[in-house]
């Protein structure tokens, strides 16, 4: 690979630039009458020289890495024989994909024609040329950078300030990554979702009562577009989340109250780590537990008392999801309850209230906004939880409120629609992004409300 | 230079041997409501109160004064076992109320605190309406059975606390919305709503402005007719204005007790004199 | 406080304020027992909740351990393998018919089995990987050619399950994976002491396989390692840089507020949404290779970044302002103050947050499903751009397999994953204890 070699050369050049710059700075200082004539310590001049060497070159290199595939691919397409170029877009995309696979030595899905073999060779050739050009460019830019700054070193030059400006800019770039992530999520999900809504009207998607996307799997069946009414999927998500909250909220809240108001140090020292372990168990483990232990037990109990319980019942998935969320609720509530000032407890105890009266009539009302915020965050988490439902909930979308039946959820559908072979333009695949959009917007709203409520609450007692 | 010397001699006196620090003055009263004997309080291993004995008379205001950290607040919190809420706190000795030692294991803190109410340094009304702030305690104790009872108790208590006229039109509003002085009077109303026999006040005016302070001091004077009041205060003027007896604490010891007039005009102990004449504080 | 109760004798409370006939204590005492019953009940609810959580955890762990511990052992069968030089080409050992040699050794044990159908049933008792293992042994040690050696080959998973007692002999033959004749053959092996459970080395050294007895977790462990390396290398410096900027340099304005809201919200966005982002941006837009640690690491980086930023900011906040003032007071620039004084003090807290973020990333599955890390990958990944699985995905894949033997391996893989997680968290806890400073 040429990439690491190039990066190593760049690094070496930068180090060389550092020493050159430092030496020049010392020399300049000597001729100006001593170290103290320099604005900054010689090291700073060296660092700036090094930065001038590596930063522009590195950005150039990064640009190439990002656009290499696209540039090369478009060049290859332009050079394809006309018979191939005139194919419909979808076919062309597949062929280009295969050419790329052929070039990188991956498994090819279709049959290989001589044209494609040629194209693959061409692809590799272009890639090599591109890399060559870039490498040379990068090195030239690096050397030019060193030269440029080296000649500008004077005692008055504020090297330290320049270093600090560069570092500060880097810090700013890093802190904006969160924004880029959000924008990236919104754009990517929205873009694909809009493409989906070109096939299926938004209203049909949001209010339709039937969900069976598998029917649209083959492209030839233009007429049978599958049913994309997502109401049963939303209903299933809410059903499972509701069951989860029914487990998690009382158990989590009461645990938090017990730990903060009743338990002594010893019990807290034992129970808190236990809850942390419960919180640290990966969701895939909970999913396995739900499918292996909980669902069969519920089914067995159901058949004992004469109930017909589905093996993928909403109850099993919801129950386990609730267990998963218990530590989340309890740690949030614990924080919130501890934030209630001791003076309120003192006030209640001083008029002779018992502990439970203090908790029920003073602490919980005082902490209510915070608790509600925490519960909203927990709901958002339940809605977005994936692995438990993928492993323990059903695939078919039933519109039912019966917790003993199988229902499906938004996340389950996203996973089933996107895992495995996908055709990127079929409504089936795009539907996953539409569901993803709904999921993102829904949880976003919950999160923002919850975080605002919690922040306001904290400010009140700070 | 003079100052430095003075300070030096001062320190010597303060650091005098502990065992010589016996309480000066008469700790007994003819009609005691509470009797404290040999009370010691520890936080973990640190001793905060050392062998304090004192009587608290019926219908009197006892003021506890002393420099910061002298243990007067700690001692006050012993009187209705509010110290129980602090995990590291240990109390030994006897405090008699109604003929029984309140630190006896058989004594229940809930009825005890219903009889010995407390008002804190910082006003701490519940985040509820003014009405609920006052009526809550009588309701949980079963002192009121009907809405009319509750109304009456709220009105009487607010009257006694001198707050009724200011809040009678907005009983439904949150108690936290009142001004600092009003909040503190609301807390006093909350304490007297259960008709306690003793009210403990922990620097009740330290967070208030002079006008609100004056109102509360008047209130304390009125309340004395019905209740026994123990007040911790930083202000010696306040102690001399509201109290009949004064107890001076220093570094966990009860140095001197006596009628307020005597303590302030003819203090017997050097430390007391230095403190009330403002040499340290 | 209902008005019906007004007629009760106790209702004489009404005038207690004015007349004070009854002392407060008497009224309070009357209701005390009832109030304490409520108190006790409430406390019990709390205790019950704690116990419930503990029981859940206990059931979860015991069910996994009880299902999984047996996967650390594997049934092996001893064959007397004759490595006849006629069947082995010394020049080209790798291409020799080891399958044939194994089959020959099996038939030698059971001379009575003659017809093809029975033979197939007989061979089914032995793992199909036996020949590969034999090949490797012989290639490592060509001197064995021409000798007869005792050789332990892994048993097929059905035999393994039978020997471990997971499948029962008692059930009717047509519901069993092994028929009566096969059971007879196994009994013969038992009689001859040719069957034995040994430590399952394969589980810790092999990649995935369709055959449970040949499947191992090493590929997934390495995949997780490479993925986390990418995540760590990116999210640690970026996270700290972002935290330092927001906490130490950022002016308080709309832009920084917006960044803050974004970070807090991203910390609560469902992980699968990050998977959608990875699919749409990294795979489809930038054309990065599917199923690789590189893309997995990038997605997990975006996911853990908010956690690390929030923890790092908390660590920076915990450094008292007096230290900053002292540094500025001796004339250092703000950058020097941060890098020389604040950062070293906040670093332990930041590291703790990073470890917790990494533990989260190690257990994460959903976003990786989106970027194609669910493929069936036999080869052990050797780098960042090799197709790889990670541990949780491996668990998910095995949990989906119908074989009973995979159930046990799933549980075992979970135990390995939990061991890693507990280790990471323990390190975080120890670090927190060690460096926790009260200012």
Q: CATH code at B74?
A: 3.40.50.300
Given an 8 Å threshold on Cβ–Cβ distance, is A326 in contact with C53? yes
**Structure token pair of residue B78:** 């012993």
What residues make up the domain containing B250?
21-276
**Structure token pair of residue A71:** 């540039």
pLDDT band at C16 (very low <50, low <70, confident <90, very high): very low
R_g (Cα) of chain C, nearest Å: 33
Pick from B29, B65, B28: which is nearest to B254 by CA?
B65
Beta-strand relationship, B89-97 and B32-43: antiparallel
Is residue A442 over pLDDT 90?
yes
Pick from B56, B107, B49, B58: which is nearest to B78 by CA?
B49
CB atoms within 10 A of CB A61: 21
Tally the C-alpha atoms within 13 A of residue C299's C-alpha that lie toward its C-beta.
35
Q: Is residue B58 part of a domain?
A: yes
CA–CA separation, C141 vs B53, rounded Å? 93
CA–CA separation, B213 vs B224, rounded Å? 17
Is residue A235 over pLDDT 50?
yes
Residue A175 contacts B where some CB pair is shorter than 8 Å: no
Residues of C in contact with B110 (CB under 8 A): 28, 32, 35
Nearest CA in chain A to B108: A352
pLDDT at C56: 94
**Structure token pair of residue B116:** 């010995």
What lies within 8 Å, CB to CB, of A426 at 6+ separation is A216, A217, A219
Residue A342 contacts B where some CB pair is shorter than 8 Å: yes
Query: Helix H segments across A258-341?
Result: 265-280, 283-289, 295-304, 314-339
pLDDT at C7: 39
Residues of B in contact with C35 (CB under 8 A): 110, 140
pLDDT at C18: 44
Which phi and psi (to 5°) does residue A56 adopt? -60, -40
Pick A380's closest partner by Cβ from C50, C268, C279. C268
Q: How far is C22 from chain B (nearest CA, A)?
A: 10
Given an 8 Å threshold on Cβ–Cβ distance, is A436 in contact with C276? yes
CA–CA separation, A356 vs C315, rounded Å? 36
pLDDT band at C204 (very low <50, low <70, confident <90, very high): very high
Pick from C392, C393, C397: which is nearest to C417 by CA?
C392
Q: How far is B120 from chain A (nearest CA, A)?
A: 8
Pick B140's closest partner by Cβ from A264, A353, A366. A353
Given an 8 Å threshold on Cβ–Cβ distance, is B110 in contact with A362? no
Residues of A in contact with B82 (CB under 8 A): 346, 349-350
Please tell me which residue, C309 or A200, carries the higher pLDDT value. Answer: C309
Residue A436 contacts C where some CB pair is shorter than 8 Å: yes
Pick from B186, B218, B217, B189: which is nearest to B203 by CA?
B217
Domains in chain B: how many in total? 1
Pick C335's closest partner by Cβ from A164, A254, A419. A164
CA–CA separation, A407 vs A393, rounded Å? 6
CA B195, B200, B202, B206 dihedral sign is: positive
Residue B137 contacts C where some CB pair is shorter than 8 Å: no
What's the mean pLDDT when you consider all of chain A?
87
pLDDT band at C10 (very low <50, low <70, confident <90, very high): very low
- Given a contact cutoff of 8 angstroms between Cβ atoms, the answer to whether A393 and A236 are in contact is yes
Is residue C439 over pLDDT 90?
no
pLDDT at C49: 95
pLDDT > 70 in chain C, percent: 94
R_g (Cα) of chain A, nearest Å: 31
Beta-strand relationship, C73-82 and B116-119: unpaired
According to DSSP, the residues that pair with B96 across neighbouring strands are B35, B101
CA–CA separation, B76 vs B34, rounded Å? 12
CATH number of A227-460, picked from 3.40.462.40, 1.10.3720.10, 1.10.1060.10, 3.40.50.1370: 1.10.3720.10
Q: pLDDT tens digit string along A112-167? A: 777 778 888 888 888 888 888 888 999 999 999 999 888 888 888 888 888 889 99
CA–CA separation, B216 vs A145, rounded Å? 77
Please tell me which residue, C10 or A113, carries the higher pLDDT value. Answer: A113
Mean pLDDT of A273-291: 92
Say which range, A46-60, A413-427, B235-249, C227-241, has the weakest mean pLDDT: A413-427
Query: Helix H segments across C69-179?
Result: 98-109, 116-123, 130-140, 157-163
Residue B141 contacts C where some CB pair is shorter than 8 Å: yes
Given an 8 Å threshold on Cβ–Cβ distance, is C32 in contact with B111? yes
CB atoms within 10 A of CB B58: 14
Q: DSSP secondary-structure letter at A313?
A: B
Residues of A in contact with B137 (CB under 8 A): 351-353
Kindly provide the residue ranges of all beta strands, DSSP E only, lying in C120-165, ordered along the sequence. Answer: 148-154
Given an 8 Å threshold on Cβ–Cβ distance, is B146 in contact with C6? yes
Given an 8 Å threshold on Cβ–Cβ distance, is A344 in contact with B111? no
Pick A280's closest partner by Cβ from C285, C333, C359. C359
CA–CA separation, A192 vs A92, rounded Å? 20
- Given a contact cutoff of 8 angstroms between Cβ atoms, the answer to whether A255 and A326 are in contact is yes
Residue reference for tokens 């047996």: C70
Query: Helix H segments across chain B?
Result: 2-14, 72-78, 109-115, 130-141, 147-160, 164-167, 180-192, 210-223, 236-242, 260-265, 270-276
Residues of B in contact with C20 (CB under 8 A): 195
- Given a contact cutoff of 8 angstroms between Cβ atoms, the answer to whether B206 and B225 are in contact is no
Collapsing DSSP states into helix, strand and coil, what is residue B246?
A: strand
Given an 8 Å threshold on Cβ–Cβ distance, is B153 in contact with C2? no
Q: Which of residues 81-100 of B touch C (CB under 8 A)?
A: 98
pLDDT at A1: 54
Task: Work out the end-to-end distance of chain B between its first and last CA atoms, rounded to an integer number of angstroms.
Answer: 21
Distance of CA B254 to the CA centre of its chain: 15
In Å, what is the CA distance from A31 to each residue of A24, A37, A157, C398? 11, 10, 15, 73
Collapsing DSSP states into helix, strand and coil, what is residue C377?
A: coil
Mean pLDDT of C198-205: 92
Is residue C87 over pLDDT 80?
no
pLDDT at A125: 86
How do the residues of chain C divide into helix, strand and coil, expressed in percent and rounded to 5?
70, 5, 25
Given an 8 Å threshold on Cβ–Cβ distance, is A182 in contact with C258? no
Domain residues of chain A, as ranges? 2-156, 227-460
Best B109, B111, B136 member to test C by mutation, with max C CBs in 10 Å, is B111
Burial annotation C251-289 (CB, 10 A radius, 16+ → b, else e):
eeeeebeebbbbbbbbbbbbbbbbbbbbbbbbbebebbb
pLDDT at B1: 44
pLDDT at A390: 93
| Selection from A321-335, A418-432, C144-158 with the highest mean pLDDT | A321-335
Is residue A109 over pLDDT 80?
no
- Given a contact cutoff of 8 angstroms between Cβ atoms, the answer to whether A15 and A50 are in contact is yes
Q: Counting beta carbons within 10 angstroms of the beta carbon of residue A71, is it exposed (0 to 12), middle (13 to 18) or buried (19 or more)?
A: middle
Q: Which of residues 349-408 of A touch C (CB under 8 A)?
A: 352, 354-357, 359-360, 377, 380-381, 383-387, 390-391
Nearest CA in chain C to A254: C46
Given an 8 Å threshold on Cβ–Cβ distance, is A344 in contact with B190? no
**Structure token pair of residue C379:** 């080869």
CA B152, B154, B158, B160 dihedral sign is: positive
Which phi and psi (to 5°) does residue A371 adopt? -65, -45
Distance of CA A364 to the CA centre of its chain: 34
pLDDT at A254: 96
Domains delineated in chain C: 3-68 (no CATH), 73-208 (no CATH), 218-435 (1.10.3720.10)
Pick B195's closest partner by Cβ from C2, C10, C24. C24
Q: Is residue B129 part of a domain?
A: yes
Q: pLDDT tens digit string along A206-233? A: 998 888 886 544 555 444 557 888 999 9
Mean pLDDT of C297-314: 94
According to DSSP, the residues that pair with B117 across neighbouring strands are B199
Residues of A in contact with C42 (CB under 8 A): 355-356, 359-360
Q: pLDDT tens digit string along A337-382? A: 988 999 999 999 999 999 999 999 999 999 999 999 999 999 999 9
CA–CA separation, A235 vs A243, rounded Å? 12
- Given a contact cutoff of 8 angstroms between Cβ atoms, the answer to whether B141 and A354 are in contact is no
Q: Which of residues 18-77 of A touch C (CB under 8 A)?
A: 66, 69-70, 73
CA–CA separation, A88 vs B228, rounded Å? 97
CA–CA separation, C107 vs C180, rounded Å? 19
Pick from C58, C389, C395: which is nearest to A287 by CA?
C395
CA–CA separation, A407 vs A192, rounded Å? 26
Q: Is residue B135 part of a domain?
A: yes
CA–CA separation, C102 vs C79, rounded Å? 8
pLDDT band at A413 (very low <50, low <70, confident <90, very high): very high
Please tell me which residue, C355 or C286, carries the higher pLDDT value. Answer: C355
pLDDT band at C6 (very low <50, low <70, confident <90, very high): very low
Residue reference for tokens 């997934």: C220
Q: Counting beta carbons within 10 angstroms of the beta carbon of residue A196, is it exposed (0 to 12), middle (13 to 18) or buried (19 or more)?
A: buried
- Given a contact cutoff of 8 angstroms between Cβ atoms, the answer to whether A315 and A367 are in contact is no
pLDDT at A222: 46
Given an 8 Å threshold on Cβ–Cβ distance, is C272 in contact with A251? no
Tally the C-alpha atoms within 13 A of residue A74's C-alpha that lie toward its C-beta.
4
What lies within 8 Å, CB to CB, of C10 at 6+ separation is B142, B145, C27, C30
Given an 8 Å threshold on Cβ–Cβ distance, is C32 in contact with B114? no
CA–CA separation, A194 vs A217, rounded Å? 19
pLDDT band at A110 (very low <50, low <70, confident <90, very high): low
- Given a contact cutoff of 8 angstroms between Cβ atoms, the answer to whether C271 and A386 are in contact is yes
pLDDT at A459: 80
Residue reference for tokens 């493929």: C375
Listed as ranges, residues in chain B with pLDDT below 70 are 1-20, 281
Residue A335 contacts C where some CB pair is shorter than 8 Å: no
Beta-strand relationship, B100-101 and B89-97: antiparallel
Given an 8 Å threshold on Cβ–Cβ distance, is A436 in contact with C273? yes
What lies within 8 Å, CB to CB, of C393 at 6+ separation is A284, C220, C365, C368, C369, C373, C374
pLDDT at A123: 83
Q: pLDDT tens digit string along B17-64? A: 444 577 888 888 888 999 999 999 999 888 999 999 999 999 899 999
pLDDT band at A108 (very low <50, low <70, confident <90, very high): low
Nearest CA in chain C to B112: C25
Touching partners of C (3+ C-beta pairs < 8 Å): A, B
pLDDT at A424: 62
Collapsing DSSP states into helix, strand and coil, what is residue B247?
A: strand
């Amino acid at each position: 690979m040429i990439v690491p070699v190039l990066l190593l050369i760049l690094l070496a050049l930068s180090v060389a630039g550092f020493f050159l710059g430092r030496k020049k700075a010392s020399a300049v200082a000597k001729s100006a009458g001593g170290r103290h004539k320099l604005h900054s310590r010689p090291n700073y001049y060296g660092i700036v020289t090094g930065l001038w060497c590596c930063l522009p070159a590195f950005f150039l290199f990064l640009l190439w890495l990002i656009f290499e595939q696209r540039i090369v691919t478009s060049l290859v397409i332009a050079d394809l024989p006309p018979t191939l170029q005139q194919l419909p877009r979808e076919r062309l995309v597949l062929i280009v994909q295969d050419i790329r696979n052929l070039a990188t030595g991956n498994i090819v899905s279709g049959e290989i024609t001589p044209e494609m073999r040629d194209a693959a060779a061409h692809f590799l050739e272009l890639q090599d040329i591109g890399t060559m050009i870039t490498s040379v460019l990068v090195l030239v830019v690096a050397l030019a950078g060193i030269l440029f700054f080296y000649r500008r070193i004077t005692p008055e030059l504020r090297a330290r300030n320049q270093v600090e400006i560069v570092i500060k800019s880097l810090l700013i770039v890093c802190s904006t990554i969160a924004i880029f992530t959000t924008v990236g999520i919104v754009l990517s999900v929205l873009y694909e979702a809009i493409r989906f809504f070109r096939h299926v009207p938004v209203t049909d998607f949001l209010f339709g009562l039937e969900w069976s996307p598998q029917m649209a799997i083959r492209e030839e069946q233009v007429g049978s577009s599958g049913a994309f009414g997502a109401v049963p999927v939303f209903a299933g998500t809410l059903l499972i989340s509701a069951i989860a909250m029914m487990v998690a909220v009382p158990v989590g809240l009461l645990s938090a109250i017990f730990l903060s108001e009743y338990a002594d140090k010893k019990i807290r020292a034992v129970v808190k780590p236990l809850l942390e372990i419960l919180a640290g168990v990966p969701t895939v483990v909970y999913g396995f537990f739900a499918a292996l232990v909980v669902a069969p037990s519920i089914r067995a109990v159901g058949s004992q008392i004469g109930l017909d319980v589905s093996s993928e019942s909403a109850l099993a998935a919801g129950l386990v999801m609730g267990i998963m969320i218990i530590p989340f609720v309890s740690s949030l509530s614990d924080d919130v309850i501890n934030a209630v000032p001791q003076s309120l407890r003192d006030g209640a105890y001083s008029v002779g209230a018992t502990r439970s009266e203090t908790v029920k009539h003073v602490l919980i009302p005082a902490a209510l906004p915070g608790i509600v915020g925490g519960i909203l965050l927990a709901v958002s988490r339940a809605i977005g939880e994936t692995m438990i439902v993928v492993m323990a909930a059903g695939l078919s979308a039933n519109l039912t409120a019966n917790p003993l039946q199988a229902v499906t959820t938004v996340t389950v559908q996203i996973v089933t629609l996107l895992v495995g072979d996908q055709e990127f333009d079929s409504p089936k695949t795009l539907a996953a992004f539409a569901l993803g959009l709904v999921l993102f917007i829904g949880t976003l709203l919950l999160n923002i409300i919850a975080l605002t409520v919690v922040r306001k609450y904290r400010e009140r007692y700070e | 230079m003079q100052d430095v010397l003075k300070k030096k001699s001062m320190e010597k006196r303060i650091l005098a041997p502990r065992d010589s620090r016996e309480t000066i003055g008469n700790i007994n009263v003819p009609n005691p409501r509470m009797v404290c004997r040999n009370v010691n309080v520890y936080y973990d291993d640190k001793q905060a109160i050392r062998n304090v004995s004192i009587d608290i008379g019926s219908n009197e205001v006892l003021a506890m004064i002393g420099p910061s950290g002298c243990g007067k607040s700690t001692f006050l919190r012993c009187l209705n076992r509010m110290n129980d809420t602090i995990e590291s706190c240990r109390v030994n000795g006897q405090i008699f109320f109604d003929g029984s030692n309140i630190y006896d294991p058989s004594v229940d803190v809930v009825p005890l605190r219903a009889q010995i109410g407390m008002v804190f340094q910082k006003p701490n009304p519940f985040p509820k309406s003014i009405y609920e702030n006052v009526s809550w305690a009588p309701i949980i104790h079963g002192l009121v059975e009907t809405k009319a009872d509750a109304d009456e108790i709220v009105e009487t208590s607010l009257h006694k606390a001198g707050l009724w006229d200011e809040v009678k039109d907005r009983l439904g509003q949150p108690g936290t919305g009142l001004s600092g002085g009003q909040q503190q009077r609301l807390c006093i109303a909350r304490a007297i709503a259960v008709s306690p026999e003793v009210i403990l006040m922990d620097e009740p005016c330290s967070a208030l402005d002079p006008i609100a302070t004056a109102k509360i001091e008047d209130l304390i004077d009125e309340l004395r007719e019905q209740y026994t009041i123990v007040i911790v205060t930083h202000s010696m003027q306040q102690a001399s204005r509201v109290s009949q007896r004064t107890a001076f604490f220093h570094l966990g010891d009860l140095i001197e007790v006596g009628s307020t007039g005597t303590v302030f005009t003819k203090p017997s102990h050097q430390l007391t004199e230095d403190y009330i004449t403002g040499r340290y504080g | 406080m209902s008005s019906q109760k007004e007629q009760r004798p106790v209702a004489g409370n009404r005038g207690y304020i004015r007349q004070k006939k009854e002392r407060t204590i008497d009224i309070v005492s009357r209701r005390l027992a009832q109030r304490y019953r409520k108190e006790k009940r409430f406390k019990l609810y709390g205790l019950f909740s704690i116990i419930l959580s503990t029981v859940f955890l206990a059931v979860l762990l015991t069910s996994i351990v009880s299902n999984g511990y047996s996967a650390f052992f594997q049934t092996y069968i001893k064959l007397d393998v004759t490595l006849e030089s006629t069947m082995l080409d010394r020049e080209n050992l790798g291409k020799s018919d080891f399958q044939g040699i194994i089959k020959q050794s099996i038939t030698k044990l059971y001379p009575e089995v003659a017809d093809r159908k029975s033979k197939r049933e007989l061979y089914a008792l032995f793992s199909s990987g036996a020949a590969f293992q034999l090949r490797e042994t012989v290639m490592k040690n060509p001197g064995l050619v021409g000798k007869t050696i005792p050789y332990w080959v892994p048993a097929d998973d059905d035999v393994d399950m039978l020997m471990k007692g997971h499948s029962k002999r008692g059930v009717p033959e047509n519901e069993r994976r092994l028929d009566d004749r096969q059971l007879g053959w196994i009994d013969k092996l038992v009689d001859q002491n040719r069957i034995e459970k040994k430590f399952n080395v394969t589980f810790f050294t092999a990649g995935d396989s369709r055959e449970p007895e040949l499947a191992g977790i090493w590929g997934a462990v390495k995949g997780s390692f490479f993925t986390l390396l990418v995540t760590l290398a990116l999210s640690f410096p970026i996270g700290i840089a972002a935290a330092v900027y927001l906490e130490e340099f950022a002016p308080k304005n709309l832009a920084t507020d917006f960044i803050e809201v974004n970070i807090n919200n991203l910390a609560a966005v469902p992980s699968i949404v990050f998977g959608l982002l990875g699919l749409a941006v990294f795979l489809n837009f930038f054309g990065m290779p599917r199923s690789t640690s590189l893309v997995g690491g990038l997605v997990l980086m975006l996911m853990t970044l908010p956690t690390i930023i929030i923890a790092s900011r908390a660590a920076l906040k915990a450094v008292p302002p007096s230290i900053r003032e002292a540094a500025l007071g001796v004339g250092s620039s703000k950058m020097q103050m941060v890098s020389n004084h604040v950062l070293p003090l906040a670093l332990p807290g930041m590291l703790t947050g990073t470890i917790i973020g990494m533990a989260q990333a190690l257990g994460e599955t959903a976003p990786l499903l989106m970027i194609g890390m669910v493929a069936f990958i036999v080869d052990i990944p050797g780098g960042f751009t090799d197709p790889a699985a990670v541990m949780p995905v491996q668990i998910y894949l095995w949990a989906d397999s119908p074989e009973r033997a995979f159930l046990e391996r799933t549980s075992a893989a979970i135990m390995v994953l939990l061991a890693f997680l507990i280790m990471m968290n323990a390190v975080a806890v120890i670090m927190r204890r060690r460096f926790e400073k009260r200012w």
